[in-house]
Structure 1
Amino acid sequence: MKKPIPSTALIFILLGIYSVAYCQNKPQQTQYSLQKTKENIILDGELNETIWDNSEVATDFYMTIPNDDRPASLQSEVRMTYDEENFYFAVTCFDGKEGYVVQSLRRDWEGSINENFSIFIDPYSDFTNGFSFGITPFGVQREATIDEGANTNSDWDNKWFSNVKTYDDRWVAEIAIPFKSIRYSEENMIWNIQFTRNHLKRNEQSSWIAVPQQYNANALTFSGQVKWPENPPPAGTNISFIPYTLGNYDRNFEDPELDNGFGANAGFDAKIGLSPSLNLDLTVNPDFSQVEVDRQVINLSRFEVQFPERRQFFLENADLFSKFGFPQSRAFFSRRIGITTDTLGRSEQVPILGGARMSGKINEKLRIGVLNMLTDKRDDLQLPYQNYSVIALQQNILKRSNVAFVFANKENLGIEKGRDISEYNPQVARREIQGNDTVTSYKLYNRVLGAEFNLFTEDTRWAGDFYYQRSFDNWNQNGTYNHGAFLRYQRRNYSVRWVHTAIGDGFNAEMGFVPRVGYNQGSLSPSYIFYPENDKIINHSLSFDISYTSNADFSRITDRSFNLSHNFNFTNTSSASINLTRNYEYMFFDFSPIAPFSESLLEQGTDYEWNVVQANYTSDRRSVLNYDISTSYGGFYNGNRFNVNGNIGYRFQPYGSFAIRYDYNSIQLAEGFGSADFYLLGPRLDLTMTDAIFFTGFAQYNNRFDNVNYNLRFQWRFAPASDIFLVYTENFAPNGPVDFIPGDNTKNRALVLKLTYWLNL
């Protein structure tokens, strides 16, 4: 017979449960009071200054992963102070002696696969926008902007300073963030702030403010407050001048007219702080040769694939310009500026002559963004000078929601009516039938006007996005609308998401990303999360998605999909999933899914339905040898398709890694339609000799386009935000199925030596 629990023991148990719950730092209820320092803070990781002894300590970090019901097993501490120029942090991360898990010494590391401590600052206290600064135990930095309350963009670059020192039982980081490097209001004396730690070798994530596991720990909703004893110091004169100069050698063996040989170039960017919260960016003759080339994909769909923007000029406050609409219906996509396609659909660079962008906060509630860029003409592509302009406004309402407006305008300049149509790109001039005559029609402009409401409730349960856009140009007069609605409800164990999009046949956003027009689409996606009490699985979830797409007038279904998936996250950092999908597609234009291996067409008016099963696995990220693999098998239009893709890598910590990305597709269509084996191989070597000297070399072999691309990139960050780059690129046609050795089959090659320097005036 079991004995009853003594009343005194029961009281102690209840008190223990209460104390654990009580010690959680609560969002917006936990506050840190700053003290100003008169000392000269030396960033050495030793914390010898008196101010650190007298400052408050932000501690009692709470675990998020693998459990969210207990304090972190090893605690972290943060102390803060400031002077007239910098915001200082002293971070102590208590640790064992097992060593650290990092990928390399390269800046802007990926947070989930590197041990790190990160700071998230919301200077406007709007729970929407802010800045993030992170550091690894090896002293490697990462900075990012925050938008929509949780999204981070680490392509943003700015100046800040840090130093890390390791001890037997902890590592300590001292950090100085110049007020000139962030945007804030001098009138706001309470900032939202959150600290997170990824203790990867223990697969433990923790945060200063307790965060339920179903949410991102960096979500600004789950932030504490830092209280200033006085108005934050003014940033003062904030002007940065960033000139560059380069020498290059370009050869084109396919088109002698584009064989430029030796060349040189120069230009500059400038950043002018109009106020602590409003910035003006200028660029003259910008160059982006140091930007890493896009990673190729095997696109088997009927529509364009979107690649990310990495050009520095377009990144700060990028969400203000680029988040109008849904991912497949954006009113503005900055990669449309300076990049076009030729008559064969190949990407071509168009030189940017210059531009200006003003972005930031007018007041605590209103953000503004204004952008204007001018591109050069390309006679070989029959493109005239083109001007791109965007105006965006975002007004915060309620607690975390906002309404926004956008106007995007593209103009073709210097069009001379009456010239032969062959002298203009098809994007600019075409022949039209008007009555009984055929005339030349010129497109002088393309414009998009839009409004949007973004919903985020204070309790984080509801999120939504509702927008309407309309395009204007003289080639498209009817069906020029684009509108959509998104609504999500989320609790600890379940979430439900609904999405609707409607785009007219005539909607044309030449500055945006809209790969498909003339459709209505709706989807419903419920999911349920389980949190088992065992030492193997953190959580697993079941989700279902049903999606229907019709043409613009709802006269027929063009696409339909049903997807059932089961996902697992394990305590050893690995993950797995299995998916079952049933697809239906109606061909509203002729399509060859295995071109150029076969020109047989799935003809307009035919339709196809098929099933696919897919399995995915990602290995333990702490291991020096790690991999992820995804494989699927099933139907594919009127045939079958087998796919395997993923990545396998080896890490020689902390100095770099070697990895191979792979994607293989074996497609067998019905008799008479052909078959194809597409494969993409991408070996990559990443070396970080120090936290300031980097080398990246990778190749991409895509047999679908019979091309091998090399991109070799050396970078020396000789001063904060100042670099020397040496970049070599080459494209050649392989002589065999797997040929990475160039020779007489080279198509083009280029060598660039570039110097940039960030000068604060």
Structure 2
Amino acid sequence: MHYQYYCVSPPPEALVLSHTVTVPILTKLKLMLLLGVVLLCNAALAQKKNANYQLHIKRAKGAIKIDGLLDESDWLNADSTGRFYMVLPMDTSYANLNTVVRTAYDDNNFYISAVCYTPTPGYMVESLKRDFSFLKNDNFIFFMDPFDARTDGFTFGANAVGAQWDGIMFEGSKVDLSWDNKWYSVVKNYPDRWVFEAAIPFKSIRYKKGIKEWGINFSRNDLKSTEKSAWAPVPRQFPTAALAYTGTLVWDEAPPVATHNISLIPYALGGITKDFEHNKDAVWRKEIGGDVKIGLTSSLNLDLTVNPDFSQVDVDQQVINLNRYELFFPEKRQFFLENGDLFANFGYADIRPFFSRRVGLNAPIRGGARLTGKIDKNWRVGVMDIQTGQSSSDNLSAQNFGVVTLQRRVFSRSNIGIMFVNKDATGSAPNPDSKGSAYNRNLGVEYNLASSNNQWTGKLLGLKSFSPGVSGHDYVQAANLQYLSKYWTIALQQQYVGRNYNAESGYVPRKGYNKLAPLLQHNFLPKNGIILSHGPQISGTYFFDERYKPTDNETILSYLITFRNRATLTVSGLNDYVKLLQPFDPTNTGKTPLPTGFENHWSTIDIQYASKPQSVFTYLVEAARGGYYDNGTKNTLIGQVGYRFQPYVNLLVNVSYNDLHLPAPYGRNKFWLIGPRADVTFTNTLYFTTFVQYNEQARNMNINSRLQWRYKPASDLFIVYGDNSIPSPFTIKNRQLTIKWTYWCNI
């Protein structure tokens, strides 16, 4: 839906009940939800589903050269996988395309090869750029769970022309591709197959000494045949990344433990920045700093950083902001990513006691340390301490951020976690009239339910904040439960956030509310024809204030269609009611706001179509028409057009148009957001990206160009240019040019 572009959505929102919902009914629903979570603990005790799928790995007797030829005797004698199982379009048979995977190891590396047979010559890919989109590339990816805990791990792979994919896994099937590490791979293409060969240094992954059985699964995506497959079978409603369905990698002896596992990652930077808007002199930048990664054990890692710089990180994608609450933008900085789920995923998407983008947002990070990893199969730990400097421009004192989190695995795949967050001012603000608090602390506990077959998931959450002079209504209580099968998705979520709850280091855009959010969806699965699946979904949100008086709600009735060629069509009807809890300008342009208590009610029709991903020309079109605040109307058009010249150039244009018709003093407001992007990959180590964003609402045009040369694995040279300007009349606001060199050295 169009509203999903505006912020990161929380877990599925659902059917809104009528205004006649009473406190006793809500209380019963809470109790039923909590009871259901507790009762389902028994379901989590079942054994691993694909335990019988085993692949044996043997120590290599000779050297293995990563060249894609697979002519070494160790490959010829290695155990290989059997036939893969189809996941899409059906999950009831073997895959039509044959894929053969073999593994080996020596003292330093884990080796893997995959022969991906194709019925016809050629391939479908976006480009040679790293961390590609899974759905838009022929690819081979594998998912590694060294503790066989089925909750977290690592993923590596490549597309059919050799672009690498690597990420960390969390919450059973989710992948963070921002994570980057040192490994080697080659892809060779032949008329009837393509071959992937890789070496993963043991220093680049975390595992426990002595464990001889790792969870693993292999996934293949082929766009020409629209077939997705996996070695160990995965039901079609789940991603092939679902660790609940991994097979087992059986080692002939315990994997070797990497010794002296220390990585030094220094950087040197030079650049120039010019502020034209305030007519300031150009500022030259000359900085050095870097990170150190120390493997305290094979599964526990210490990250240190001094004067970190993140100038090469991708810029955030802008949005037309018609939201009453703060928008969410994900963390992309490398230092915060390894085992980042321990910190970032505690709570819900809209209730985070810690959000790392708060750290260093308006002040420089001077240094920091992170201890993360697994103590054993059942225990994970995360400890972080970051010190920032003082910021005169934002009147901020130096601050210290400390976070401790501990997670204990229970039953088959569930866990209990605790978190403590501490933010302290470590100096005086430049302006003595600063109103920043001396400290802010949060203490939380959560139980995450995940059944062995992944059909039942849920969470119980409790948080308490501590701030100077604040007491009462300063806690959070929330829970959700979801059932997911081929045919049904049923979910219920409940939240309470006190009006005085304060998470200065977190992301909690809304306070002082109770929320109820059910969801119900049914899938029909035709055995043939052009439609792969279709079905209705009813969902929404229902908000109360702390006294259970209704404030706002949204009800959504949708029909979802997925075609066999993987194109999708969604038709939705939305019904909204909003009673403003604070003044709000519905155009977000600084005009006179509507008053607190102002009631609004409207309906919207929304249609979205996304084309099949296997074409070199792809597109997405979404149109919505309906009401808006103050008896106004809103017409929205969203489009995305992509074209790729395989495998070197990928062009993409995002367009958003909002047309608001409102009474005085707002009148008619038309907002365009146009964002063309060009990715040119000369090789799989040399990339050039230019991203232009024109935001009419913000009266800003942004250009960000980046040349990246990966001269060695995980070592880069960046040249980054950026500027911001006022579109009309065209006026430059600021410009910056940065050259940054990084080097990854393993000791």
Normalised by the length of structure 1, the TM-score is: 0.90
| 1:130 and 2:122 matched | no
Residue aligning to 2:685: 692
Query: Partner residue of 2:740?
Result: 754
Specify which of 504, 509, 512 is matched with residue 510 of structure 1.
Answer: 504
How far off is 1:618 after superposition?
Answer: 0.5
- CA-to-aligned-CA distance 1:134-174 (integer Å, 9 cap, x gap): 11121111101000110001100001111122222111111
- The corresponding residue for 2:634 is 641
How far is the alpha carbon of 1:670 from its aligned partner? 3.0
Q: Secondary structure at the match of 2:245?
A: coil
- Is structure 2 residue 177 aligned with structure 1 residue 187? no
* Contact map agreement 1:381 1:425 (CA 8 A) in 2: no
Per-residue Cα deviation, 1:582-629 (whole angstroms, up to 9, x for no partner) = 010101111101132x71322111111110110000012122111101
Query: What residue identity is the alignment partner of 1:694?
Result: Y
Give the aligned partner of residue 559 of structure 2.
566
Residue 401 of structure 1, aligned match among 414, 434, 437: 414
Structure number with bigger Rg: 1
Matches for 1:446-461 after TM superposition, within 5 Å: 446-461=440-455
- Residue aligned with 2:274, SS: strand
Q: Which residue of 1 aligns with 2:4?
A: none
Aligned counterparts of 1:176 and 1:649: Cα–Cα separation in 2? 33
Q: C-alpha separation between the residues in 2 aligned to 1:603 and 1:492?
A: 46
1:351 is aligned to 2:364: yes
CA distance in 1, matches of 2:619, 2:680: 19
Partner of 1:415: 428
Equivalent residue, structure 2, for 1:326: 348
Which secondary structure state, in structure 2, belongs to the residue aligned with residue 35 of structure 1? strand
Query: Which digits, 9 at most, give the CA deviation of each residue in 1:632-689, with x for residues without a partner?
Result: 0001122100000121111111001222111100001135442211111111111001
Question: In structure 1, what is the equivalent of residue 384 of structure 2?
Answer: 371
CA distance in 2, matches of 1:364, 1:620: 41
2:163 to 127, 140, 145: 140
Aligned to 2:544: 550
Distance 2:528 2:446 in 1: 44
The answer as to whether partners of 1:476 and 1:508 remain within 8 angstroms in 2 is: no
Q: Confirm or deny: 8 A CA contact 1:386 1:410 kept in the other structure.
A: yes
3-state SS of 1:533 partner: coil
Quick one: which amino acid aligns to residue 720 of structure 2? V
Given that 2:363 and 2:396 are in contact with CA atoms closer than 8 Å, whether structure 1 keeps it comes out as no
Tell me the amino acid that sits aligned with residue 186 of structure 2: N
* Equivalent residues of 1:563, 1:580 under 8 A apart: yes
- Give runs of aligned pairs for residues 661-676 of structure 1, distance below 5 A: 661-676=654-669
Cα deviation digits, residues 674-720 of structure 1 (max 9, x gap): 22111111111110011011111111111111111110111000000
1:633 is matched by which residue type in structure 2?
R
1:621, 1:582 → 2: CA distance? Answer: 31
1:265 paired residue number: 287
- Secondary structure of residue in 2 paired with 1:321: helix
TM-score (norm 2): 0.92
Match of 1:440 in 2: none
Q: 1:210 aligns with which of 211, 216, 233?
A: 233
Higher deviation after alignment, 396-405 or 247-256: 247-256
Cα deviation, 1:368-405, whole Å, max 9, x if unaligned, reads: 00000011101222211100010000000001000000
Task: Name the structure 2 match of 1:228.
Answer: 251
Using the TM superposition, give the Cα deviation of residue 260 of structure 1 relative to its aligned residue in structure 2, in angstroms. Answer: 4.4
Letter in 2 for 1:247: G
Judge which range, 183-192 or 545-554, deviates more: 545-554
SS of residue paired to 1:242: strand
Over the residues paired in the alignment, what is the CA RMSD in angstroms?
1.4
Structure 1 position 177 matched with structure 2 position 200: yes
Q: How many equivalent residue pairs? A: 699
- Is contact 1:405–1:451 with CA below 8 Å preserved after alignment? yes
Contact 1:601 1:673 in 2 (8 A): no
Report what 1:606 is aligned to. Answer: 598
| Preserved contact between residue 415 and residue 444 of structure 1 (Cα < 8 Å) | no
1:243-262 to structure 2, matched below 5 A, reads 243-256=266-279, 259-262=281-284
What is the aligned partner in structure 1 of residue 479 from structure 2? 485
2:44 alignment counterpart = none
1:68 aligns with 91
Report SS of the residue matched to 1:275: coil
Following the alignment from structure 1 to structure 2, what is the Cα–Cα distance between the partners of residues 407 and 541?
43
Contact 1:382–1:423 (CA<8 Å) still a contact in 2? no
Judge which range, 667-676 or 478-487, deviates more: 667-676
Q: Which amino acid aligns with 1:131?
A: F
Q: Which one of 559, 567, 570 corresponds to residue 577 of structure 1?
A: 570
Alpha-carbon displacement from aligned partner over 1:63-100 (angstroms, at most 9, x marks no partner):
11111112111110111111111111121111122411
SS at match of 1:325: coil
1:28, CA displacement in angstroms?
Answer: 1.3
Greater shift after overlay, 654-663 or 407-416? 407-416
**Structure 2 counterparts to residues 8-47 of structure 1, below 5 A:** 27-47=50-70
Q: Which residue of 1 aligns with 2:38?
A: none
Q: What's the offset of the Cα at 1:254? A: 2.2
| Alignment-mate amino acid for residue 198 of structure 2 | I
- Summarize the Cα distance change of 1:731–1:674 in structure 2 as closer, same or farther, 3 Å threshold: same
Distance 1:753 1:673 in 2: 45
Letter in 2 for 1:682: G
Query: Does the aligned pair in 2 maintain the 1:26–1:210 contact within 8 Å?
Result: no
What is the SS of the residue equivalent to 1:180? helix
For the structure 1 residues 565 and 621, does the alpha-carbon distance in structure 2 shift closer, same or farther, using more than 3 Å as the test? same
Deviation above 4 Å: which 4+ runs of structure 1?
Answer: none
SS at match of 1:51: helix
Identify the match of residue 523 of structure 2 among 521, 529, 553: 529
Matched position secondary structure for 1:384: coil
Q: Distance in 2 between matches of 1:605 and 1:541?
A: 38
2:726 corresponds, among 726, 733, 756, to 733
Shift of 1:560: 1.3
Instruction: Say if 1:409 and 1:447, in contact at 8 Å, map to a contact too.
Output: yes
Q: 1:89 aligns with which of 112, 119, 144?
A: 112
